[in-house]
Amino acid sequence: MRFAIFSDIHANLEALEAVLADARENKCTDFVCLGDVVGYNANPHECVARVREMDCPIVKGNHDEQASLVESSRDFNEMAEAAIQWTRDHLSDADKEWLRALKLQRQVRDFTIVHATLDTPEQWGYVFNNLDAAASFTYQHTTVCFFGHTHVPMAFVRDDGVQRQRIDKLRIDPSKKYFINTGSVGQPRDSDWRAAYCIYHIEGAVVEQRRVKYDLATAQKKIIDAGLPRLLAERLAIGR
Ligand code: ZN
């Protein structure tokens, strides 16, 4: 059994299709989405439709939440807010209903999935350091939990203390706990423009980081043609 675990698509259809093709080539049998299907980029409806038809386990992200509200709750910066208002206008009522109904946290087989944190998932905090990760570990009852939200792939490992490490090909030791950020499909922020996701090889107990090139120029052109902030197109090229 091989899971493709992907997060933070952010309405980037070109990146999503490239990731799904790579997952199929790598013989993934199952798919899991960690939220933020929409926001920032130009294909929110198409990405919702694509993920919906996959009918895979999924949790809600903060952009999914904001896009499904009638009005914003002032949590977003100016650029994210401009994009989320545009997104609301480009989603159907059925899309919004589906986004609204997503759960904050789920268990899939023997692992957990959440968008932001396990300690207060509805507050959308960011896990960037060992202290943030330690708070989530307190509420983690499975060996492995996958999360998103920061758009920066990294693994936190709890043994005696908490350590941060690169994923690459991470072997899962059942005597430890792992809080793993798969990185972002549609708006990476670790200075690498390629779409990020992870493959979880269940039998081999290995989590593998994947990076996938996609049709960046088309994704950028759609953002500009849609009248979304130009910076949203520019940041994709530098992975920021
Ligand atoms: Zn996000």
Query: At which residue do the structure tokens 């998932």 appear?
Result: 121
At residue 77, the pLDDT reads 87
Mean pLDDT to the nearest integer, 29-46:
98
pLDDT of 20 strictly over 90: yes
Average pLDDT over residues 166-177: 97
Question: For the residues 227-233, what does the mean pLDDT come to?
Answer: 96
Question: pLDDT category, 233, cuts 50, 70, 90?
Answer: very high
Q: In whole angstroms, what is the distance from residue 14 CA to residue 125 CA?
A: 28
54 pLDDT more than 80: yes
Tokens (6 digits) for 34: 């960690």
Ligand 1: centre distance to CA 188 (Å): 9
The Cα 196–Cα 182 span in angstroms is 7
The secondary structure of residue 232, as a DSSP letter, is H
Predicted confidence (pLDDT) per residue in 102-157, tens digit: 999 999 999 999 999 999 999 999 999 999 999 999 999 999 999 999 999 999 99
Q: Say how many Å lie between the CA of residue 195 and the centre of ligand 1.
A: 13
Residue 221: what pLDDT?
98
- Asked whether the predicted pLDDT for residue 74 surpasses 80, the reply is no
Distance 38 CA to ligand 1 centre (A): 8
The pTM score is 0.97
- How many A from CA of 128 to the centre of ligand 1? 14
Write out the residue range of the structural domain in which residue 108 sits: 2-236
H or E stretch covering 78: helix 78-89
What is the CATH classification number for the domain harbouring 122?
Answer: 3.60.21.10
Residue 210 pLDDT greater than 90, yes or no: yes
Tell how far the Cα of 160 is from the centroid of ligand 1, in angstroms. 31
Q: Is the pLDDT of residue 73 over 90?
A: no
pLDDT band at residue 18, thresholds of 50, 70 and 90? Answer: very high
- Report CA(47)–ligand 1 centroid distance (Å): 14
| Residue 196 φ then ψ, to 5° | -115, 140
Helix (H) or strand (E) holding 156: strand 154-158
Counting residues of the chain whose pLDDT is more than 70, the rounded percentage is: 100
For the chain, give the mean pLDDT.
Answer: 96
Name the least confident of 62-76, 169-183, 203-217.
62-76
Report d(CA 112, CA 93) in Å as an integer.
29
**Average confidence (pLDDT) over 84-97:** 96
Domains of the chain: total: 1
